[in-house]
A and B are shown apart, each in its own frame.
Chain A
Amino acid sequence: MFWLKRNLPRLVIAPSFGVLAWFVYGFILWTIYISFTKSKLLPVYDIWGLDQYFRLWSMPRWHVAVENLFIFTTLFIVFCIFIGILLAILLDQKIRAEGFLRTVYLYPMALSFIVTGTAWRWMLNPSLGIEKFAQDLGFVNFTFDWLVTPGMSIYTIVIAGVWQSSGFIMAIFLAGLRSVDDEIIKAAKIDGASLVSVYTKIILPMMRPVFMSAIVILVHLAIKSYDLVIALTAGGPGISSDMPAVFMTQMAFHRSEIGLASASAIMMFLTVSAIVVPYLYSELKREDDRK
């Protein structure tokens, strides 16, 4: 009885721990293993070496996907944070109907990326959406055809992604701003600091942890972005807006290249870890320091 009482928490947590260990970490290991094999249609288990990685990096399409990932991730993070902070600061000015406005900006987050992608696909389609609307209004020379222009289609994904996620970033920053002590702001104002410098010099630097969380959330959203791309451009025109996640699904399930797909999945995994691990490390270290 005493034993049970002492070990009950462990027993309760064990199933979920086991499930997590197997289905997340187990399959990560499995994918790593498969990426070293010659698997094509179905998984095979004879080690083949690093050849899948060499093949992967010799494919022009993979290079397009990686390049797009960097463009998308950078712009997505920069714009989301910029717009998010701007909205948060504006909402922080003790305005009327703040609750209502906050909901308005946060609401896109409630949509799935598929819905966002489809809606923006219609809006950005030159023969249906914004371009046609402006031309019908009389601006005959107005063109906005990024969606169907190979070099520009990746930016339409940025637009839709930012539209969806900046409200969420706003909410994170708003919470951060609210936790700043009013006394500090008052003190700064007494010292004669303008509102702009109060924010840029004092408040935002104090919000370093909020930045970190926002960036980590956005980075993994960006690297995993699959549904948005599929709904908005499906990787097109051509393969110009391809992304690693789209590439991976294509290889695994359309082209019977499970080994190659695993290799690309591992490359994505390493990219995410390269960003998340140092962050986790620094955060955990700080907690240790506090003890």
Chain B
Amino acid sequence: MRKIIIAIMAMVLAPTLSYAGSKAEVLHWWTSGGEAKALQVLKDDFAAKGGVWSDMPVAGGGGDAAMQTLKARIVANDAPAAAQIKGPTIQAYDREGVVAPYNIDAVAKAEGWDKLLSKQVASHMKCDNGKAYCAAPVNIHRIDWFWANKKVLDSNGIKMPTSWDEFNAAADKLQAKGIIPLAHGSQPWQDATVFEAVALGIGGNKFYKKAFVDADAKTLGSSTMVKIFDQMRKLKGYTDPGSPGRDWNVATGMVMEGKAAFQLMGDWAKGEFAAAGLKPDVDYYCASTPSDNGYLYNVDSFIFFKIKGDEKVEGQKLLASLMMGKNFQKVFNIYKGSIPARLDVPMDDFDKCAKKSNADLNTAAKKGGLLPSFAHGMTLELGVKGAIQDVVTEHFNSDMSSQDAVKKLSAAVKAAS
């Protein structure tokens, strides 16, 4: 009995005994194949610089489980060094007073992050009214992508659509031939993903910004919004009956097999094609959804919490510097399917879709089309975002009229904010 107790004590105490120069505990939910590989790059970099990485992966549910763990840790006054947090939630944590002092700001200033990042991305990483860096970006995902099966499109004489009318025409043609035009999993977040791409396309860049960045009541209740819901109703008709509740990667599989022609999904879908050994422009097409040089982005980032202990603060600084490092940004994003947040990483080793994403990003930034994705939590408070998502998914999965949906949308946003 005594031996067992000693063994248990040893196990509990062991991690606290082995410490070196810099230490960092990192909470994340990148546990699946490509993501885990991508993160390993960072762990290796960190170890090479003599740091002790203590991993805190919380798998499952797109980070829900991780958020529960994180909140419990913060309430218990035991925040990890860094956690995978993005969008306005970064500033929300700052308002709760758990981020300041901004340990990594000195690193950011010394390395000149203001020059390495686009203004838009940098603004998401700053706390205290944009004065100090408190988070480090690791990638940029594009949301408004169409993925299509090349064989299906070519054999039916269909090109990647450049307007939503073109898409509808193509979809009608495919449907007549017994092919599912749109592979979709009707889960709330997937419905919202499609919705924001449609809103960007039909409403335009200014409309999108007013509706989903400023949450302007007039715009949310406008006749343009009715048109957007009309298009959503059309898209519903292009999906198959098995769509509700389907996971996104299953929908991607339908495109790969040629059962369905298109899927609207962020560029993590590329990972599924790559895992199956398929290549862009050979087996599948990637193109942005129809819009006027719009680009919906999702920037994954790590926030750095207030922690005690010099070696832990050193760990945070080292971590931030490595995350922004050229090597990590390149290797990580090749694995992850996204593009680097840092502007000066050469794109030579990336695939065609990533190169297009990078080029489009620059064009969009110039033309005012570079916009944050609301479906993926880059804009709007989470409560407001959730309220919009509820209405979108309810409309998509019922026979609610577009007018009713718009009325509900305005009411829900008002109630949530």
Contacts and interface: CB of A to CB of B under 8 A. Distances in A.
Contacts of B89: 41, 256
A145 B241 contact: yes
A60 B186 contact: no
Nearest to B240: A127
Contacts of A234: 187, 245
Nearest to B65: A253
Nearest to A151: B398
A43 B71 CA distance: 9
B287 interface: no
B101 interface: no
B394 A253 contact: no
Give the interface size class of chain B: 35 or more
A255 B187 contact: no
Contacts of B130: none
Contacts of A154: none
B241 A55 contact: no
Interface in A12-48: 40-43
B245 A233 contact: yes
A121 B245 contact: yes
A148 interface: yes
Most buried by B among A126, A235, A236: A236
Interface string A58-95: 11110000000000000000000000000000000000
B83 to A, nearest CB: 13
A41 B241 contact: no
B244 interface: yes
Contacts of B390: 60-61, 239
A225 interface: no
Contacts of B243: 148
Given A236-B393, A238-B397, A256-B381, A42 B71 contact: yes
Tier of interface size on chain A: 20 to 34
A45 to B, nearest CB: 11
Nearest to B241: A126
A240 to B, nearest CB: 7
A147 interface: yes
A240 B390 CA distance: 10
B242 A126 contact: yes
A40 B93 CA distance: 10
A256 B397 CA distance: 25
A40 B188 contact: no
Chain B CB within 10 Å — which of A43, A128, A150, A256 has the most?
A256
A236 B187 contact: yes
B94 to A, nearest CB: 10
B398 A150 contact: yes
A237 B382 contact: no
A43 B244 CA distance: 34
Given A42-B75, A121-B245, A236 B386 contact: no
A40 B386 contact: no
B64 interface: yes
A250 interface: yes
Chain A CB within 10 A, most for which of B243, B381, B390: B390
B16 interface: no
Interface in A93-114: none
B244 A42 contact: no
Interface string B82-126: 000000010011011010000000000000000000000000000
Contacts of B186: 236-238
Contacts of B397: 150, 236-238, 240
In this complex, the member of B95, B96, B244, B382 whose beta carbon has the largest number of chain A beta carbons within 10 angstroms is B244
Contacts of B187: 234, 236
A257 B416 CA distance: 10
B408 interface: yes
A145 B408 CA distance: 27
Contacts of B398: 150, 237-238, 240
B68 A148 contact: no
A5 B74 CA distance: 44
Nearest to B384: A255
B245 A255 contact: no
Contacts of B96: 41-42
Contacts of A251: 386
A40 B92 contact: yes
Contacts of A127: 240-242
A49 B54 CA distance: 42
B242 A238 contact: no
Contacts of B347: none
Interface string A112-148: 0000000001000111100000000000000001011
A150 B393 CA distance: 11
Which among A235, A239, A240, A250 has the highest number of chain B CB atoms within 10 Å?
Answer: A239
A150 to B, nearest CB: 5
B54 to A, nearest CB: 23
A22 B245 CA distance: 39
Contacts of B67: 253-254
B245 A237 contact: yes
Contacts of A128: 242
Given A42-B75, A254-B386, A257-B382, 17 more contacts: A40-B92, A42-B71, A60-B408, A147-B244, A148-B243, A148-B244, A150-B398, A233-B245, A237-B397, A237-B398, A238-B188, A239-B390, A240-B394, A240-B397, A253-B71, A255-B382, A256-B92
Interface of A: 40-43, 55, 58-61, 121, 125-128, 145, 147-148, 150, 233-240, 250-251, 253-257, 260
Top-3 shortest CB links A-B: A127-B242, A238-B397, A237-B397
15 contacts: A41-B89, A121-B245, A125-B242, A127-B240, A127-B242, A148-B243, A150-B398, A236-B186, A237-B244, A238-B397, A253-B67, A253-B71, A254-B64, A254-B382, A256-B382
